[in-house]
Amino acid sequence: MAAIENVHDLEVFKEVVGTGSFTQAARALKMSQPAVSLAVKRLERQLGAELFQRQPFGPNAISLTDAGKILVSHVGIALQEIDGAAQEIESLEKRHAVRLSLPPV
């Protein structure tokens, strides 16, 4: 079973798909372009499949492979689920928090 080790890599992948460019994704995420490329390469290594077909130049320099299309169909839902779980946990922690104030002794 393939294990995705870093949720941020999924966010980077989603941004590359959304912008259609590693460079534009880097700008949007305030990352360097090499860092974006490394995140995608990490995902590809972990999944054992290329996610993008890369061309050297042109308006369609990258396109999704079949594996990339499968991942993009799941990544949005996965990220929403992770965010939802984090929000639920945060609200749970806030409900159970008890704050006590004591006067100085």
> Do the domain assignments include residue 101?
no
The CATH number covering residue 14 comes to 1.10.10.10
Q: Say whether 54 sits in a helix, a strand or coil.
A: strand
CB distance 49 to 6 below 8 Å: no
pLDDT above 70 (res 1): no
Position 101 scores a pLDDT of 63
73 lies in which domain range?
7-94
Contact 68, 51 (CB under 8 A): yes
79 inside domain: yes
pTM for the full predicted model: 0.79
pLDDT band at 73 (very low <50, low <70, confident <90, very high): very high
Mean pLDDT, residues 3-15: 92
Could you tell me if residue 99 is inside a domain? Answer: no
Which whole number is the average pLDDT over 58-62?
72
Q: What is the pLDDT of residue 90?
A: 85
Across the range 15-26, mean pLDDT stands at 95
DSSP 8-state symbol, 51: -
Residue 19 lies in a domain: yes
Residue 78: inside a domain, yes or no? Answer: yes
Is 50 contained in some domain?
yes
For the chain, the domain total comes to: 1
